[in-house]
Amino acid sequence: MTATTKNTDTPKRDGYQFSAPIKAGEYILQGTMVGIDATNLAIDYVTANAVACLGVAEFQADNTSGGDAELMAETRKGTQRFVNGDGIVLSDIGADAYALDNITITKGVNGIVVGTIADVDSRGVWVTFK
């Protein structure tokens, strides 16, 4: 490929919105964490098969009757609040945040690191996703 000599319309994104094809049989709820499995398909984070976290589902996606990649999971990163799974407190701000399931964050190592603890309030723990 050679360098361009003309203006170009380079595709861009905001760095927070991502999508991935959904694995057959999966049901993803809006507002829950979405995992990626070893086959690079989106899955509900409740399953133990997640190898990474894609982000938080923007919309519900029901692929329970579909095949692999028939639907796309639309997700968003950024800072969002989840259930405080093990007594995370303000002094934990800056620590790694681990996903225990699709809605629960812990500070232990019993899950996959999904981001950083950004804040804690009476309703949960705020996580800035990677």
pLDDT tens for the chain, 130 residues long, are 799 999 999 888 788 899 999 999 999 999 999 999 999 999 999 877 889 999 999 999 999 999 999 999 999 999 999 999 989 999 999 999 999 999 999 998 777 899 999 999 999 999 999 8
109 backbone dihedrals φ, ψ, rounded to 5°: -105, 30
Distance CA 50, CA 57 (A): 15
The predicted pLDDT at position 33 comes to: 96
Residue extents of the structural domains in the chain: 18-76, 79-129
The predicted pLDDT at position 14 comes to: 82
92 backbone dihedrals φ, ψ, rounded to 5°: -85, -5
Instruction: Read off the pTM.
Output: 0.88
The conformational region for residue 29 under phi > 0 = left, psi -120 to 50 = alpha, else beta, is: beta
Encoded tokens for 58: 């923007």
| Distance from the Cα of residue 55 to its chain's centroid | 2
Give the β-pairing of 52-57 and 96-99: unpaired
Write the pLDDT tens digit of every residue in 7-38: 999 888 788 899 999 999 999 999 999 999 99
Q: What stretch of H or E contains 37? A: none
Distance CA 45, CA 13 (A): 24
